[in-house]
Amino acid sequence: MIAYNSDITLRMADEKDLETILYFIKSIAEFEKLTEEVTTDVEKLRASLFGKHSNAEAILAEDGTTAVGFVVFFHNFSTFTGKKGIHLEDIFVESEYRNQGVGKLLMQKLFEIALERNCERLDLTALNWNENALRFYESLGAKPQTEWTAFRFDKDTLQSLVASKK
């Protein structure tokens, strides 16, 4: 086990990190047994993270020059507060760096960004079966929103609905 040390640094990702970001995305998908759902590639990520109309950002955690974790997030909006918030899309830490404080460092940086940007809140979702993630978020003070049910319209459904004008 690698002991947590002060060599872990955080920085905003840039275009040279696209392969690393894609690697982490594929690692999350493998952990969640959803590898077949990963359809992104470096060019899609370049447009979404760094393009003219980019809509997401990433932070990397590094041990020296080795990336050991990341977080991807984007802004959302609350009509009730009239303010933007942050939605944490993904967080991942390499297995040998887990339980060493790296995830907490990434979350702390995200908390700081939320406050610097005058965000009202930070939202995220976690898989119901991922007890380690659930415990981690709750240990940081996150409160489960059990009164909400998540829904999704996938691309095929969207296309069908637009075609039928339901």
pLDDT digits (tens, 9 = 90+) for 5-25: 568 999 999 999 999 999 999
Element (DSSP H or E) covering residue 119: none
Would you state the pLDDT for residue 3?
45
Count of alpha carbons within 13 Å of 50, Cβ hemisphere only? Answer: 15
Reported pTM: 0.90
Mean pLDDT by 10 residues, the chain (166 residues): 67 98 97 95 97 96 96 96 96 95 96 96 94 94 92 91 84
Secondary structure string (H, E, C) spanning 6-57: CCEEEEECCHHHHHHHHHHHHHHHHHCCCHHHCCCCHHHHHHHHHCCCCCCE
Q: How far apart are CA 148 and CA 16, in angstroms?
A: 38
**Interval 91-109: pLDDT, tens:** 999 999 999 999 999 999 9
Inter-CA distances, 32 with 52, 78, 105, 145, 152, Å = 31, 29, 23, 22, 18
Which residues does the annotation mark as catalytic?
A: 137
Q: Which domains does the chain have, with CATH numbers?
A: 8-164 (3.40.630.30)
